[in-house]
Amino acid sequence: MGVIEVNGKQHELNEEGFMVNPMEWDRDIAAALARQEEGLQELSPAHWAVIEFIRAYFLEKQLAPMVRAICKTTGFPLRQIYEMFPSGPAKGACKLAGLPKPDGCV
Amino acid sequence: MAGLDPLRLAVLAAAAWCLAALVFQTVRAYRFGRHEIHSAAAGVSLKGIAYAFGPGMMPWGKESAARHLPTYLTGIGYHGAVFAALGYLVTVMSRVALPAEWRIPLTAVFAAGAAGGIGLLVKRAVKPVLRSISCPDDFAANVLVDLLLAAAIASLWIPGADTVLLATAALLFLYIPLGKIRHCFFFFYSRILFGIFFGRRGVLPPRPRESQP
Amino acid sequence: MTAEPTKDILEERLGRLTPADIRKAVETFRAALGHQGAADLNACVHCGLCADTCHYALTSDEPENPPAYKVNLVMAVFKRYFTRLGRTVPGWVGARELDETLTREWVDVLFGRCSLCGRCNLNCSVGLNITALITAARAALTAIGLIPPELQSTITTAYTTGNNMGIAQNDWVETVQWLEEELQAETGDPTARMPLDLHGARMLYTVNPREPKFFPLSLLAAGKVFYAAGESWTLATDYYDVTNYGLYSGEAPVAGELSDRLVRTVERLGCQELILGECGHGFNANRWAAPEWLSKRYPFRVRSVLELLAEYIRDGRITLDPSKHTEPVTLHDPCNLVRLGGVVEAQRFVLRHAVQQFVEMTPNREKNFCCGGGGGQLAMTRYAQRRLQAGRIKADQIGATAAKVVATPCHNCMDQLSELNKEYKLGVAIKTVCELVAEALVLPAQ
């Protein structure tokens, strides 16, 4: 188990860097996860648009959205989503949005 | 029957016990449950079985052999010697005198086998991976078989040492079904199932490379 | 301030085992072993030569990694409960009571250090079906709730929602419709279809739910190839999930139900063939294991999409232009599809037509090394570090080919390979075979 320290507070991460307690998430944690897990030093407004949509969707449905919904809502084409988050929508974008690791082959 | 002294009778009785116990164990294994196979075959079971006992036993057929060639060859020699000793046991049991010129080659086979067996025993006692999976039975089985080989050598050269061979053989037969030497029988059971598994799935024997599907 | 460590359900369960639990585990174990398991455990000679056939043992010296050690853990319980000497003098034959200590070790070793790749089966001196032995032990653990919850969660999600990512039906349908629009745009043909519930279609195509959820381009690629081949095909609105993690928990009734849904869907839609998308364990489960779980002979054919692609090429139904792929491409053989599945040459035949430079890894085909992500490892987060470490063998294999693209006909392998790509800085692109074929496709002039 890992931890990530943000603003003097430690947050538990699982073995793959996903947040163990998704409700502790905030934007500072997202920025720290982006640096630590995705190697992204700065999050652009485009990154934030994706992360915020995923976060809002998760809070409403307790699930990660389909990549189709991400593209449709943010207006970014699929290719751009993959480029923005090198580890992909699940291990990249959803992780930064503080979601738990999804079920399935990811 | 003429010529059946108590010791020979004991060997026969032990062999009978061994055979009966192995049959009993097979039935028990069978009772763990068996179903007919429902999936459609993609290859031929019999070809898989033939491969399993042929090329599949060769060093290029399995890495356990290829990567451990000395151990593999020692194992082959060890097992060959044991079967030769059992053959020799039959001649002793039936009081057939072997030609004198056989004594030296047989001694060589048995001695090489026994040396191999002792080598494997030492390896088991020393190598950490083997130590972590070994139990007294693993050592006892090896020692019993080595003793059989030693007794066979003795009986070739020392008059009257036949009794030692017969006694050792009786002991060995008694022990076979109890410990790991039962693999002498279950090896074939497992290996046939191995052949069926990979044969009907079309994995073994390997298809010609670059072949059109 | 330090975060309070979150309690682990598995740990709690391990601490509360009752004698009734153990009895249930032993009974389940016995039934799951069957005659083959019993024969194999009577045949093992503890030779230990399987040790360096295993990617776990080759990448770490921890004593629990050699397959021989794993088999011995399973054998200890077999002997204790099912052999005379094991009951009377357990110490002599290495028999052990299935108590809390051993149960804990079973979980850690049999779930946490094995990807059920079967490489040790192939190379075992005797020929034991070691994956089946470990699966039988996993079944016993699962029966008493001792399966890592992350793995169980994927199974439960599949069982309760119909697919292992819990995709709602309208989300699935909407994604397929979106892909249909993409297909029409790519082909310039407004009649191009990604058919859903097309009754009487020749074949039902099944996918890994991570395709519609996160990586839809592989599904689009398959659709494009079927379009070019003039295939009569359909997706189903309800059951389209090719995966079956029940193969890894050993829980046959659950695994059987998951696979039976595909059987019922083929029958509902009146298809003649079930085509399994690029998924290693899904192939093993649905092609080989499911008919046995269900005690059923299928009245239709079950094939991998790779066999279909090879047939298209052989019969001239699609034309490929390999100059679309000039960089060297290598192929990862998913264990469940190749060594345990028997689909060996089809993907090679396809790739030789789709790319200019096809390079084999060494070893390959049935002797190939596991990527490290199989056996449910990708789902079991707690063992992620071991999984990445064990994947070093695969990373080395890829590196040695100097290929720029790794083709793999399995989405699970794909995810593990992506992680290895990052961890070991391989700098390769990872693609499914369908994607490579779709990119090389020469569409007939309109």
Q: Do A15 and C384 touch (CB under 8 A)?
A: yes
Task: Tell me if B118 is assigned to some domain.
Answer: yes
Residues C296 and C166 in one domain: yes
Q: How far is B112 from chain C (nearest CA, A)?
A: 19
Instruction: Report, as an integer, the average pLDDT of C203-216.
Output: 97
Residues C174 and C302 in one domain: yes
Query: What 3-state class would DSSP assign to C235?
Result: strand
What's the rounded Cα separation, in Å, for the pair C125 and B53? 11
Please state whether at least 3 CB pairs lie below 8 Å between chains A and C: yes
Give the pLDDT confidence of A49-82 residue by residue, as tens digits: 999 999 999 999 999 999 999 999 999 999 999 9
Residues C279 and C336 in one domain: no
Query: What 3-state class would DSSP assign to C49?
Result: coil
Phi first, then psi: what are they for C429, rounded to 5°? -95, 145
Instruction: Check CB contact of C186 with chain A, cutoff 8 Å.
Output: no
- pLDDT tier, A45 (very low <50, low <70, confident <90, very high otherwise): very high
Residues C173 and C137 in one domain: no
Predicted pLDDT of residue C2: 46
Contact list in C for residue A102 (CB cut-off 8 A) is 165, 213
DSSP-assigned letters across all residues of C388-439: HHHTHHHHHHHHHHT-SEEE-S-HHHHHHHHHHHHHTT---EEE-HHHHHHH
Phi-psi region of C135 (alpha: psi -120 to 50; beta: other; left: phi over 0): alpha
Give the pLDDT confidence of C372-424 residue by residue, as tens digits: 999 999 999 999 999 999 999 999 999 999 999 999 999 999 999 999 999 99
- pLDDT tier, A21 (very low <50, low <70, confident <90, very high otherwise): very high
Task: Tell me if B41 is assigned to some domain.
Answer: no
Residues C307 and C325 in one domain: no
| The residue count for chain B | 213
For the cut 70, the answer to whether the pLDDT of residue C4 exceeds it is no
∠ at Cα B37 (B32, B39), nearest 5°? Answer: 140
Task: List C405's β-bridge partners, or say none.
Answer: C329, C429
Instruction: Report, as an integer, the average pLDDT of B80-96.
Output: 96
User: Quick check: bond before C253 cis, omega within 30?
Assistant: no
Quick check: C36 and C131 in contact, CB under 8 A? no
What's the rounded Cα separation, in Å, for the pair B93 and B13? 13
- pLDDT tier, C120 (very low <50, low <70, confident <90, very high otherwise): very high
Predicted pLDDT of residue B4: 81
Instruction: Report, as an integer, the average pLDDT of C1-23.
Output: 83
Quick check: C165 and A89 in contact, CB under 8 A? no
Q: Which two tokens stand for residue C5?
A: 């460590």
Secondary element (H or E) of residue C136: helix C130-143
Instruction: Report, as an integer, the average pLDDT of C232-244.
Output: 98
What's the rounded Cα separation, in Å, for the pair C379 and B179? 39
Alpha helix stretches (DSSP H) within C162-269: 169-187, 210-213, 217-229, 246-249, 252-269
What's the rounded Cα separation, in Å, for the pair C279 and C285? 10
Residues C125 and C53 in one domain: yes
Contact list in A for residue C10 (CB cut-off 8 A) is none
Task: Tell me if B127 is assigned to some domain.
Answer: yes
Residue B167, domain extent: 66-186
Give the pLDDT confidence of C259-288 residue by residue, as tens digits: 999 999 999 999 999 999 999 999 999 999
∠ at Cα B211 (C291, C391), nearest 5°? Answer: 65
Which CATH number goes with the domain that contains C69? Answer: 1.10.1060
Q: Do C366 and B182 touch (CB under 8 A)?
A: no
Task: Tell me if B206 is assigned to some domain.
Answer: no
Instruction: Report, as an integer, the average pLDDT of B97-113.
Output: 95
Residues C78 and C175 in one domain: no
B-facing residues of C in 405-424 (CB < 8 A) are: none
The residue out of C264, C279, C314 marking a domain boundary is C314
DSSP-assigned letters across all residues of chain A: -EEEEETTEEEEE-TTS-BSSGGG--HHHHHHHHHHHH--SS--HHHHHHHHHHHHHHHHHSSPPPHHHHHHHH---HHHHHHHSTTHIIIIIIHHTTPPPPSS--
Predicted pLDDT of residue B34: 85
Q: Do C422 and A87 touch (CB under 8 A)?
A: yes
Residues C285 and C419 in one domain: no
Predicted pLDDT of residue B35: 82
Task: Tell me if C3 is assigned to some domain.
Answer: no
Instruction: Report, as an integer, the average pLDDT of C307-323.
Output: 97
Number of domains observed in the structure of chain C: 3
Sorted by sequence, the CB contacts under 8 Å of residue B26 that are 6+ apart come out as B185, B189
Please state whether at least 3 CB pairs lie below 8 Å between chains B and C: yes
Among residues C67, C131, C142, C66, the alpha carbon closest in space to that of C103 is found at C142
Instruction: Report, as an integer, the average pLDDT of C71-82.
Output: 98
| The residue count for chain C | 446
Rg (CA), chain A: 13
Contact list in A for residue C3 (CB cut-off 8 A) is 3, 9-12, 21
Predicted pLDDT of residue C1: 41
Among residues C273, C345, C360, the alpha carbon closest in space to that of C307 is found at C345
Give the pLDDT confidence of B130-163 residue by residue, as tens digits: 999 999 999 999 999 999 999 999 999 999 999 9
Rg (CA), chain B: 20
Task: Tell me if C53 is assigned to some domain.
Answer: yes
Instruction: Report, as an integer, the average pLDDT of B120-125.
Output: 97
Nearest to A103 among C166, C178, C383 (CB): C166
* Closest C-chain CA to A92: C214
What is the distance, to the nearest Å, from the Cα of residue B137 to the centroid of all Cα atoms in its chain? Answer: 16
Residues C57 and C120 in one domain: yes
State percent of chain B over pLDDT 90. 89
Phi first, then psi: what are they for C95, rounded to 5°? -80, 145
Q: How far is CA B157 from each of CA B14, B146, B165, rounded to the nearest angstrom? A: 25, 17, 12
Task: Tell me if C152 is assigned to some domain.
Answer: no
Instruction: Check CB contact of C268 with chain B, cutoff 8 Å.
Output: no
The residue out of C103, C122, C147 marking a domain boundary is C147
What's the rounded Cα separation, in Å, for the pair C111 and C109? 6
What interface predicted TM-score (ipTM) does this complex get? 0.96
Residue C302, domain extent: 158-314
Predicted pLDDT of residue A12: 94
Number of domains observed in the structure of chain B: 1
The residue out of C255, C284, C314 marking a domain boundary is C314
Which CATH number goes with the domain that contains C331? Answer: 3.40.50
Residues C260 and C348 in one domain: no
Instruction: Report, as an integer, the average pLDDT of B119-129.
Output: 96
Residues C41 and C117 in one domain: yes
Nearest to B186 among C39, C287, C342 (CB): C39
Which chains have 3 or more CB–CB distances shorter than 8 Å to chain A?
C
Sorted by sequence, the CB contacts under 8 Å of residue C345 that are 6+ apart come out as B207, B209, B210, B211, B212, B213, C310
Task: Tell me if C4 is assigned to some domain.
Answer: no
What's the rounded Cα separation, in Å, for the pair C241 and C165? 9
- Strands C358-359 and C429-431, bridge-based pairing: unpaired
User: Quick check: bond before C148 cis, omega within 30?
Assistant: no
In chain B, the N- to C-terminal Cα span, in Å, equals 63
Secondary element (H or E) of residue C155: helix C149-161
Residues C200 and C226 in one domain: yes
Task: Tell me if C388 is assigned to some domain.
Answer: yes
Instruction: Check CB contact of C167 with chain A, cutoff 8 Å.
Output: yes
Give the pLDDT confidence of C131-147 residue by residue, as tens digits: 999 999 999 999 999 99
